[in-house]
Amino acid sequence: MADPAQDAPRRRFFDLRAGAPTLIGIGSRFEGTLEVQGPMSLGGTIVGHGRVAGPVSIAQDAHWQGNVHAHSAVVAGRVTGDMTIETKLEISKSAVIRGRVRAHVVAIADGAIVEGEISVTGSQPIIHFEEKRAPRTDPGG
């Protein structure tokens, strides 16, 4: 019997969560402590610490200034602060992270910049890859 999970199209893990994400769009700015119960997409700027119970997507032109704790993350923009990711962290080639990074699985594209210590809590070593698709700049899609 075929496994339906193997027949399903491959998608970014951000796309697998149901429900609309919390969106801080391009040109928007949020200051303060942020708590999100589901997925989140950042296209603008956050100044402050945040906890995201679902996946977080940080677009190429976005900037998060503060510590980030999330279930999973895809970073194409900038993070100035520490990141604690419970499962998988994907760092795109356009990403610049200045702070400590801790995640169960870390995948980093050639050309990405991480200025700080990277700690992998899972058994896999850091996965290095060549990014073949353009990073998403649309924080909602």
The pLDDT of residue 83 is 98
* pLDDT score of 9: 47
3-state secondary structure of 21: coil
Determine the Cα angle at 74 with ends 64 and 105, to 5°: 115
pLDDT at 139 over 90: no
pLDDT of residue 21: 86
DSSP per position, 70-101: EEEEEESSEEES-EEEEEEEEE-TT-EEES-E
The pLDDT tens digits for 80-122 are 999 999 999 999 999 999 999 999 999 999 999 999 999 999 9
What pLDDT, on the 0 to 100 scale, is given for residue 5?
44
Nearest-5° Cα angle at 72, 70 to 23 = 70
Q: 34-89 pLDDT, tens per residue?
A: 999 999 999 999 999 999 999 999 999 999 999 999 999 999 999 999 999 999 99
Report the half-sphere exposure of 55 (CA within 13 A, side-chain side): 20
pTM of the model: 0.81
- What local confidence, expressed as pLDDT, does residue 43 receive? 98
Tokens for 40, please give them: 């989140």
Count of positions (residues) in the chain: 141
